[in-house]
Amino acid sequence: MADVVLSNVNKVFGTFTAVDGLNLDIRQGEFVSLLGPSGCGKTTTLRMLAGLEFPSGGEIRIGDRMVNDLAPGQRDIAMVFQSYALYPHMSVGQNIAYPLKKRGVAKAERTAMVAKTAEMLQLTPLLNRKPRELSGGQQQRVALGRALVRDPKVFLLDEPLSNLDAKLRGYMRAELIELHQRLGRTMVYVTHDQLEAMTMSDRIAVMESGKLQQFAPPQVVYREPANRFVASFIGTPGMNIVDGELLQENGRWIFQSQGFSVDAPNLGPDAQSGAAAMGIRPEGLSIGTGPIEGVVQLVEQTGHENIVVARVGDGLRMTGRTNPDQPVRAGETIKLSIDANKAHFFAEGATGKRLNKAAATSDGPAKSQSALKEATS
Amino acid sequence: MRHIMAKQQQTLLERRYSMLGLFLIAPTVLVFCAVIVYPLISAVYLSLFKIFTPTLEGSWVGLDNYRVLLSKGEFWTSLRANLIWTVGTLSLQIIFGVGMALVLHQNIWFRSLARSLILFPYFISTVVAVLVWKWLFNDLYGILNHLMITAGLIDWPIDYLGSMPNAMISVILVGAWKYFPFVVIAVLARLQSIPDQLYEAAKIDGAGPIARFFDITLPQLREVLVVIIMLRAIWDFKEFDLIFLLTGGGPVTSTQTLPLLVYKEAFALNQMGMASAYAVIMMLIMLGFMLVYIRRTRSEES
Ligand SMILES: Nc1ncnc2c1ncn2[C@@H]1O[C@H](COP(=O)(O)OP(=O)(O)O)[C@@H](O)[C@H]1O
Ligand SMILES: [Mg+2]
């Protein structure tokens, strides 16, 4: 059952279109991330869901209600702000109790609900403190508590972890996943961090320049990016993308670029001869033997693997991964080969469509652990 | 051994720093003494004498001035007038000031123009302002009476400044008009620094406009209001020119606040010693107020 639906939603600021014809269909209990570079319209979308910004066009439904004309307080949503937005003059307990108070929950019941929420978030010893006496991580928890306490239909979270240090962020990520599983509530999570989106979401909505690029589970976004933008945005180190040309030779597709060519065995019906791009993830590139020659520019040691950046032809940079035991040094000339079955091909342009045959991957919300590992390692 | 040497060197350096600190602060302390401490002490000293103002010749009377003053009805009526004036004008300044600041904080198109216009009463000199108001208030040819009679609100002209309680009300209103821009500017500056996200969070938590005012705006303004009230209370309590020029303390002594009484003793009755005693008492009253006020705001903080 669809819980949150955006149909053709636009948002125009003056002459600038921040969100452009957005269609999203979020299921009940789903964890959906809005992912994209800064300025792509994620926050604007979330604020329209919250009722803090009004759409210039289109329709927003939450549950079975059209909410376009409903005030934020009537939408049965809760929001966690990037800056937490805790009420500075109220204690932690008062902050968490505030949404209940404004909804007329009786004092005794309020106290019990606050105590329960505080317990869940380990805030009980802090209930009488003021927000300014808390660390960033604790403030973050209070902001979560204020959202959780009244059990809304939908949770909206705007980059809630971006102000925390790396270690705490990893910890809170796990906490949020657990919380989502426990509550089973719909969550819409805004982030520019693909690692967060990949690890936490049932589905990811990748956005760019106000437009939806792809809306699919993490492993689909990773393995079958809908277009060149999604391919380049997801994954660290990022996908190698090479401009070139698709040719048909004796009934076989070949991709030709400066200095090398590869087979394109699994192109779909949309493929056309002419300018195109090929993408290959670092793990699809083998270093040691192969037809392509490159000069190593940089070797990054992460401990369990080395990331090798090599220059191929004039100015093309290719990133690959090697075992740390394999001796590769900067300045060395190495051989590379591309695993044609792992290559992606895209039509011309920054958001050129993917041309590969569709794989038979299910579109379900289940998370594939192997895809997560690939993305996060 | 080296350990001890290092310690000695450090204390020497520290001592040198504190010497430098004293040296740098000395000019300020000297000026402060010359313009604040010396007049203060001499006021207290003068209040122990009976002094004839034109010749400044006097004789020691000890605490006699204070004894006379506290048993005189005029001191108590002046103190009462002073408190009525201060509380009245200060409350109106705060109410109109905060209200106007809230209006100006909204996105209205003439906001920048309105902001500069609002400062007008605060900037013009008191003498000019009072002259204008005296013309407006005039019972025979003032425009206020003229308009009200034309509108049919009153049958006979009202004597705004020459009868009670009209005179006190008029003084309080002119004082509020003159000084509320100060409140507007200070409050507006604070309003602009309240993060929008607090209001957005409150909206999502289900707070309507009135709840948002009482739960967010007002608590956020609390600190600046404490400072404003403290400053304005001091300034209003010792206000002289506005009242003196508008009513001269009249009718009879009904708007004669303590500063006007000090002036009368010193320059109309030529009793400089007595005037000093009044001034010292005034200072003690203000000091008392401030102590209570600071104590209360501090205990609320914790
Ligand atoms: N109130 C506003 N007025 C004008 N432009 C805005 C406003 N809010 C956002 N924008 C613009 O809309 C675009 C998308 O903003 P936003 O949704 O905040 O991006 P992000 O994806 O980083 O959260 C940005 O270019 C931003 O400058
Ligand atoms: Mg944002």
Residues B104 and B36 in one domain: no
- Looking up residue A119, the CATH number of its domain turns out to be 3.40.50.300
Q: How many domains does chain A have?
A: 2
- Ligand 1: residue whose CA is nearest its atom 1: A13
For residue A135, how far is the Cα from the chain centroid?
Answer: 27
Residues A235 and A117 in one domain: no
* A333 pLDDT more than 70: yes
- What's B154's DSSP letter? -
Report the helix count and the strand count for chain A, using DSSP H and E. Answer: 9, 19
Residues B42 and B87 in one domain: no
Boundaries of domain holding A93: 4-223
Residues A277 and A208 in one domain: no
Residues A202 and A164 in one domain: yes
If we measure between CA atoms, which residue out of A180, A192, A355 comes closest to residue A272? A355
Residue A363: per-residue pLDDT: 43
Residues B225 and B296 in one domain: yes
Mean pLDDT taken over chain A: 89
* B5 pLDDT more than 70: no
Residue found by looking up tokens 């809306």 in the block: A215
Nearest CA in chain B to A103: B206
A252 in any annotated domain: yes
A375 in any annotated domain: no
Residue-wise pLDDT for A301-314, tens only, equals: 988 899 999 998 87
- Specify the pairing of strand A31-35 against strand A186-191: parallel
Q: Which atom of ligand 1 is nearest to the CA of A19?
A: 14
Q: Which long-range contacts (CB under 8 A, 24 or more apart) does A178-186 make?
A: A179/A144, A179/A148, A180/A31, A183/A148, A183/A151, A184/A29, A185/A29, A185/A151, A185/A152, A185/A153, A185/A154, A185/A155, A186/A3, A186/A4, A186/A26, A186/A27, A186/A28, A186/A29, A186/A30, A186/A31, A186/A32, A186/A153, A186/A154, A186/A155
Rounded to whole angstroms, what are the CA distances from B81 to A251, B172, B233, B241, B261?
106, 11, 14, 16, 11
Nearest CA in chain B to A130: B302
B163 in any annotated domain: yes
Residues A128 and A240 in one domain: no
Residues B25 and B76 in one domain: no
A116 in any annotated domain: yes
Last residue of a domain, one of A172, A188, A223: A223
Nearest to A102 among B198, B207, B219 (CB): B207
A242 lines ligand 1 (CB under 6 A): no
Residues B41 and B168 in one domain: no
For residue B164, how far is the Cα from the chain centroid?
Answer: 23
- Specify the pairing of strand A306-312 against strand A316-322: antiparallel
Residues A156 and A203 in one domain: yes
Residues A195 and A244 in one domain: no
SS3 A9: strand
A373 in any annotated domain: no
Residue-wise pLDDT for A228-271, tens only, equals: 999 999 998 999 999 999 999 888 899 998 778 888 888 888 88
Residue A360: per-residue pLDDT: 52
Structure tokens at A166: 């790396």
* A292 pLDDT more than 50: yes
B51 in any annotated domain: no
C-alpha to C-alpha distance for B255 and B281, rounded to whole angstroms: 19
Residue A374: per-residue pLDDT: 40
A368 in any annotated domain: no
Residue B302: per-residue pLDDT: 54
A49 lines ligand 1 (CB under 6 A): no
Residue found by looking up tokens 């426990």 in the block: A182
Span B215-243, average pLDDT: 91
pTM of the model: 0.81
Residue B164: per-residue pLDDT: 78
- Looking up residue A341, the CATH number of its domain turns out to be 2.40.50.140
* B6 pLDDT more than 60: no
B223 in any annotated domain: yes
Sheet holding A274-280, edge to edge: A260-263, A252-257, A240-249, A274-280, A344-347
- Ligand 1: residue whose CA is nearest its atom 4: A13
Sheet holding A306-312, edge to edge: A316-322, A306-312, A285-301, A333-338
B136 in any annotated domain: yes
Q: Which atom of ligand 1 is nearest to the CA of A41?
A: 17
Residues B39 and B77 in one domain: no
Structure tokens at A371: 């895809």
Which pLDDT band holds residue B3 (cuts at 50, 70, 90)? low
* A23 pLDDT more than 60: yes
Residues A276 and A333 in one domain: yes
- Specify the pairing of strand A274-280 against strand A285-301: unpaired
Nearest CA in chain A to B205: A99
The answer to whether residues A294 and A336 touch, using CB atoms and an 8 Å cutoff, is yes
Residues A120 and A13 in one domain: yes
Residue-wise pLDDT for A50-71, tens only, equals: 999 999 999 999 988 999 999 9
Residues A21 and A44 in one domain: yes
Span B6-25, average pLDDT: 81
Which pLDDT band holds residue A376 (cuts at 50, 70, 90)? very low
Residues A136 and A259 in one domain: no
Span of A131-135, A208-212, B105-109 with lowest mean pLDDT = B105-109
The answer to whether residues A305 and A360 touch, using CB atoms and an 8 Å cutoff, is no
Residues A161 and A66 in one domain: yes
Which phi and psi (to 5°) does residue A139 adopt? -60, -40
DSSP H or E stretch at residue A63: none
C-alpha to C-alpha distance for A15 and A32, rounded to whole angstroms: 29
DSSP H or E stretch at residue B100: helix B73-105
The answer to whether residues B50 and B273 touch, using CB atoms and an 8 Å cutoff, is yes
Query: What residues have CB less than 8 Å from A148, skipping those under 6 apart?
Result: A78, A117, A120, A121, A179, A183
- Ligand 1: residue whose CA is nearest its atom 3: A13
Q: Which atom of ligand 1 is nearest to the CA of A190?
A: 23
Using the Cβ of A218 and the Cβ atoms of chain B, whether some distance falls under 8 Å is answered with: no
Structure tokens at A366: 């289940």
Residues B127 and B18 in one domain: no
Residues A118 and A217 in one domain: yes
In degrees, rounded to 5, the angle at the alpha carbon of residue B141 between the alpha carbons of residues B137 and B145 is 55
Span B115-133, average pLDDT: 88
Burial (CB count <10 Å: 0-12, 13-18, 19+), residue A251: exposed
C-alpha to C-alpha distance for B24 and B145, rounded to whole angstroms: 60
Chain B residues interacting with chain A (CB cutoff of 8 angstroms): 195, 197-198, 200-208, 211, 215-216, 219-220, 222
* B218 pLDDT more than 90: yes
Residue A372: per-residue pLDDT: 41
- Ligand 1: residue whose CA is nearest its atom 2: A13
For residue B205, list chain A residues with Cβ-Cβ distance below 8 A.
73, 98-99, 102, 146
Nearest to B200 among A85, A89, A146 (CB): A85
* Contact between chains at B211 and A102 (C-beta distance less than 8 A): yes
* A206 pLDDT more than 80: yes
A93 in any annotated domain: yes
Nearest to B201 among A71, A77, A81 (CB): A81
**Smallest Cα distance from A74 to chain B, Å:** 7
The answer to whether residues B127 and B211 touch, using CB atoms and an 8 Å cutoff, is no
**Smallest Cα distance from A71 to chain B, Å:** 8
Span B61-80, average pLDDT: 87
Residues B41 and B77 in one domain: no
The answer to whether residues A310 and A329 touch, using CB atoms and an 8 Å cutoff, is no
Look at the alpha carbons of A196, A201, A205, A206 in this order and tell me if their dihedral is positive or negative.
positive
Burial A323-348 (b: 16+ CB within 10 A, else e): eeeeebeeeeebebbbebeebbbbbe
Residue A365: per-residue pLDDT: 42
For residue A91, list chain B residues with Cβ-Cβ distance below 8 A.
none
A71 in any annotated domain: yes
B148 in any annotated domain: yes
Span B39-52, average pLDDT: 87
Pocket test for ligand 1, best of A10, A15, A16, A81 (most atoms within 8 A of CB): A16
The answer to whether residues B78 and B256 touch, using CB atoms and an 8 Å cutoff, is yes
Residue A366: per-residue pLDDT: 43
Boundaries of domain holding B22: 2-46
- Rg of chain B over Cα atoms, rounded to whole angstroms, equals 26
Residue B9: per-residue pLDDT: 63
Residue A164: per-residue pLDDT: 85
Q: How many domains does chain B have?
A: 2
- What's A227's DSSP letter? B
SS3 A100: helix
B54 in any annotated domain: no
B59 in any annotated domain: no
Rounded to whole angstroms, what are the CA distances from A51 to A62, A156, A161, A171?
11, 11, 22, 30
Residues B145 and B249 in one domain: yes
What is the amino acid identity at position B120? F
- Looking up residue B138, the CATH number of its domain turns out to be 1.10.3720.10
- A200 vs A360, more confident: A200
Mean pLDDT taken over chain B: 86
Report the helix count and the strand count for chain B, using DSSP H and E. Answer: 15, 2
Using the Cβ of A364 and the Cβ atoms of chain B, whether some distance falls under 8 Å is answered with: no
A374 in any annotated domain: no
A41 lines ligand 1 (CB under 6 A): yes
Residues B104 and B195 in one domain: yes
Query: What residues have CB less than 8 Å from B243, skipping those under 6 apart?
Result: B85, B171, B175, B249, B255, B257, B259, B260
Residues B9 and B150 in one domain: no
Residue-wise pLDDT for A262-288, tens only, equals: 888 888 888 889 999 999 999 999 988
* Contact between chains at A81 and B200 (C-beta distance less than 8 A): yes
Residues B88 and B162 in one domain: yes
